[in-house]
Amino acid sequence: MSLYPDVQRKAQEELDRVVGPNRLPDFEDYHELLYIKAVLLEAMRWMVVVPLSLPHRVIRDDEYKGYIIPEGTIVNPNIWAMLHDPEDYPEPERFNPDRFLKDGKLNPDVRNPLTLAFGFGRRVCPGRHLSDGSLFMMIASVLHTFDIHPVIDEDGKEYDPTSEVITGLISAPERIPCRLTPRSKNAEELIRQLSTT
C-alpha cells in the first residue's frame, strides 16, 4: 500500500463507512467490504506466491491448441502468465483493484484470480478458503488501523519493494520496508486493546 496511496485511501474510506472508528473489522463485514475484497483479489493476481504452481501429470493423452500432450507428461502450469494475461486483465502490470468491481459489486465478468492462484484440479490447495479469509481480515485490520507510508532511501527516493523479489518455486518481495502510523487515537486504542488480549 505504500506504493499505492490512492488504493489505500479508497480502502480506508470503505472501512470507515462500513466498520466505523470504534471497532475492528470482523467476518460479518466480509460481504460489505467489497473494495477490500478487490484489493485481496488484485494482490493475489499481481504477485502470485507460487508462479509455476505444482507439477501435474497428464493421466491420458490430451490435446491443447493442436499440441498433443502424451499420457504421463509432467506439466507445470504458468499461473503467473495466466494472471498477467492482458486479455483477462488489461494493463496486467498495474495494481488496480477496481478491475474487479462494477456497479458497486464484484464484477463476475473478470476472471477470479483465486481460481488459479491456489492451483486447480486435484492439486488445488486445501487451505485456500482459510487463506482467503485470513488475508481478508489481515488486509482489512491493518488498513483500518494504520496508514502505510513508503520508506525514503538515502537518495531521497521512495523504496520500491517490487525491485527485490525472490523468485523460484515461491515468489515474494525480499523485504517490504514501510512506516506504519496509527490512523487516529481511536485506531491506536484498538491496537492497544488487541495487543493486551
Binding-site entries for heme: 125
Residue 134: phi and psi, rounded to 5, are: -65, -45
CB atoms within 10 A of CB 70: 9
Residue 92: phi and psi, rounded to 5, are: -65, -25
For the record, the C-alpha cell of 61 comes out as: 493423452
Q: Give the span between the Cα atoms of 114 and 130, in whole angstroms.
A: 12
Query: Residue type at 55?
Result: P
Residues 6+ apart with CB under 8 A from 45: 83, 84, 89, 113, 117
For the record, the C-alpha cell of 96 comes out as: 488496480
Whether the CA torsion 39, 40, 41, 44 is positive or negative: it is positive
Q: Give me the long-range contacts of 128-133 (CB less than 8 A, separation at least 24).
A: 132/40, 133/27, 133/30
